[in-house]
Structure 1
Amino acid sequence: MQASIGDNTQQVMHSQTSQPQGLSKEEVRELLDQLKEIVRDSLMPESFKKKAESRLESVIHEVEEEETDKQLVGGNLKRVAEVFEDAGKAVESGTNLLGKVEPIFRKLLGWLGLAKGFFGFC
């Protein structure tokens, strides 16, 4: 952003994000596999686990398509994030669970080209 003040003065502001946008499909798949492992190893109730695993499978299938629809992936990942949030509210260890998944969701934000906060807890 640039703003001109007077005749000769300019102020230049740059905004940078720390979100990696150049993730390969293989790297995205590894991140999704990490999320699946966190779900499996978590103490969240079985109903939440099943819901999260099902939604993650939908994301994985779309990522593996030749032409990945990132908008669809983003929407489905948002639904996965909501399961983590709901599980976090339901169980005491939820704070720890969100702490484990937040860095993964942050990495995926950049790849999807989404704004910080899209998933709610990131």
Structure 2
Amino acid sequence: MLIVDTMSNPPSSQSINIHGSNVSGAQIGQAERDVTQVQTDQSVAQGVANTQAEAIALLATLEAHLQQSLLPIGQRDKALSYLSAAKTEAASESPDKDFAAISLKKLAGVLQDANESIETSQNIWANMKPLLEKLLPWLGVAAGFFV
């Protein structure tokens, strides 16, 4: 006779507030003094950016993820420079959304290249793409713009 005992453990609930964006379902860990890993699900920064303020908040969330990413320093600096250009433009009085979109498309290219060139347990493009896609309504670009 085979007896199987199964225990039902509900998933733990974690949430954190990053620059005004609610993050839920995140797994955050730290190992070895200065190695940090952040893994999130698709619900980071709920909803989409329809306003300038929402776009700025979402860009700040993207920056936090990039700062904590395991990207090589050269690629991270390049990605952050494109993001900085988009953030500066988004925060301006009359933002040039085309310029911000082009900067973010270049950022997406860096992240896609990083996924192809480095082996890591962190799929940076898979984590960042949903955040970038939430900017599509504010930027006024098509759904496949970042692909």
Normalised TM-score (structure 2): 0.63
Structure 1 runs of 4+ with >6 Å offset:
none
Q: Aligned partner of 2:143: which letter? A: K
The alignment of Structure 1 onto Structure 2 pairs a total of residues equal to 101
2: CA distance, partners of 1:94 / 1:115 = 30
Quote the residue 2:98 is aligned against: 71
Instruction: Please report how far the alpha carbon of residue 54 of structure 1 lies from its aligned counterpart in structure 2 after TM superposition.
Output: 0.9
Q: CA deviation at 1:69?
A: 0.8
1:63/1:73 contact within 8 Å kept:
yes
Task: Give the Cα separation in 2 of the matches to 1:76 and 1:83.
Answer: 11
Counterpart Cα distance in 2 of 1:93 and 1:37: 19
AA at the equivalent of 1:90: S
CA apart distance, 1:99:
1.7
CA separation of 1:94 and 1:39: change in aligned 2, threshold 3 A:
farther
Q: Deviations over 1:29-68 (max 9, x none)?
A: 1111111111111111100010011111111110111111
> What RMSD in Å do the two structures reach over aligned CA positions?
1.7
Q: Percent identity?
A: 34
Once residues 80 and 104 of structure 1 are traced to their aligned partners in structure 2, the CA distance between those partners, rounded to angstroms, is 12
1:43 pairs, out of 57, 70, 75, with 70
Consecutive unaligned residues of structure 1, counting only runs of 5 or more, are 1-18
Distance 2:127 2:100 in 1: 20
- Which residue of the partner structure matches residue 115 of structure 2? 88
> More helix per residue: 1 or 2?
1
- Residues 35 and 101 of structure 1 are in contact (CA less than 8 Å); yes or no, is this contact kept in structure 2? yes
TM-score after normalising by structure 1: 0.75
Higher RCO structure (Cα 8 Å, ≥6 apart): 1
Looking at structure 1, the residues matched to 131 and 50 of structure 2 have their Cα atoms a distance apart, in angstroms, of 12
**Could you tell me which of 103, 116, 120 is aligned with 2:143?**
116
SS at match of 1:92: coil
Q: Distance in 2 between matches of 1:102 and 1:63?
A: 19
